[in-house]
Amino acid sequence: MTTMPRTPDIVTRLPTVGTTIFTVMSALAQQYGAVNLGQGFPDFEGDPKLLDAVTDAMRRGLNQYPPMAGVVALREAVASKIASLYGRTFDPGAEITITAGATQAILTAVLAVVHPGDEMIVLEPAYDSYAPNIELAGGRIVRVALTPGTFRPDFAAISAALNRRTRAIIINTPHNPSASVWSFEDMQRLAQLLRPTDTLLISDEVYEHMVFDGVSHESVARHPELAARAFIVSSFGKTYHVTGWKVGYVAAPASLTAEFRKVHQFNVFTVNTPMQHALAAYMAAPEPYLGLAEFYQRKRDRFRAGLASTRLALLPSQGTYFQCVDYSRSSDRGEAQMCEWLTREIGVAAIPLSAFYADGFDQHIIRFCFAKKEETLDRALERLARL
């Protein structure tokens, strides 16, 4: 008698994870031919010089495993960028690791430090990978809301959430999805709260070069007390318009980096070689990242000027490439329904803010991404004028 081959049943480790809203909205945008201002990626190319540098590296035979922690020249370029912008010197040998994007960097940091039963604080609305990362580590997610309306950190609530079991807190500035940025005083307050604790900090700074109106990015690297307990994470994908390359980095004190690399070694081991060499060569000129805020500010201003004549109410966009709007004047639909309707009937895709809250908190706010060509933004604005 033959038995049918059978795939054993498994118990999911991530019971609440399904298809992300980004995938759902992108598919819907495609189905209805909508202008996709949902998912956060540019619809234009990176600098041809950077793209050529990858080909160059491959032709020069730089195609085998690089060092586990990353190509030395790239770690040196990252260290010198951080030193020149934020005044902190990281040792490229012991304190900087190249990762497969910020997503892997954050997961690896969480797996390296969070033990089963440990608590980790997440500030909502939050980027969607944080909570599942903590679950995979066996940690307990402690959610603290940013102040509704302003999305400022609520330090009284953070203080109330901190306790002996709080292994780490993750912050994100400039912030996706709200486009708010942390101030010097915010960092000082956080330092004050963490001072008496052993709580570590993961600082997601992937939009570090996109802060507008002449304001400087308040990196944790500028704050010695915080930097001494932090994994600082960034992403070349955001900075150089190449989100699909998935290359990022983590800067952290040597003892934290050592633990980080133990996990990294058996998870990713190394990140693709030619891209690392290309990024290292390209970073020799600081202009591309120094000019990024102005580049995106022009897009932001154009987009905001167009939105100002629609029935959507603009929220501030201090950083990132996102613009949130309150649509209460135009509709009383829930956010997810509004985004579906907008895609289907108006032809513009957006992301509901409720997707960034575990309980689906609905504030009638949706997020647009303006990392798009001018003609794409103009096409979206023409359609939104019909609202």
Site residues for ligand PLP per CB under 6 A: 40, 101-103, 127, 172, 176, 204, 206, 235, 237, 243, 246, 248
Q: How far is the CB of 174 from ligand PLP (least distance, A)?
A: 9
Q: How far is the CB of 232 from ligand PLP (least distance, A)?
A: 12
**Residue placing its CB nearer to ligand PLP in the complex, 133 or 376:** 133
Phi, psi for residue 336 in degrees, rounded to 5:
-65, -40
**Residue placing its CB nearer to ligand PLP in the complex, 172 or 343:** 172
CB atoms within 10 A of CB 330: 17
- Longest distance between any two alpha carbons in the chain, whole Å: 76
Q: How far is the CB of 292 from ligand PLP (least distance, A)?
A: 15
Nearest to 171 by CA among 216, 235, 119, 120: 120
- Closest residue to ligand PLP: CB criterion: 101
**Residue placing its CB nearer to ligand PLP in the complex, 42 or 274:** 42
Q: How far is the CB of 289 from ligand PLP (least distance, A)?
A: 15
Nearest to 124 by CA among 99, 87, 165, 154: 154
**Residue placing its CB nearer to ligand PLP in the complex, 66 or 347:** 66
Strands lying side by side in the sheet with 365-369: 313-314, 322-326, 365-369, 351-352
Omega of the bond leading into 274 within 30 degrees of 0 (cis): no
**Residue placing its CB nearer to ligand PLP in the complex, 204 or 340:** 204
**Residue placing its CB nearer to ligand PLP in the complex, 90 or 240:** 240
**Residue placing its CB nearer to ligand PLP in the complex, 197 or 272:** 272
Q: How far is the CB of 247 from ligand PLP (least distance, A)?
A: 7
Q: How far is the CB of 40 from ligand PLP (least distance, A)?
A: 5
Strands 313-314, 322-326: pairing kind? antiparallel
Task: Give how far Cα 2 sits from Cα of 5, 8, 70, 152, Å.
Answer: 9, 17, 51, 64
Q: How far is the CB of 58 from ligand PLP (least distance, A)?
A: 22
Strands lying side by side in the sheet with 166-172: 96-99, 248-251, 230-235, 200-204, 166-172, 119-124, 140-145
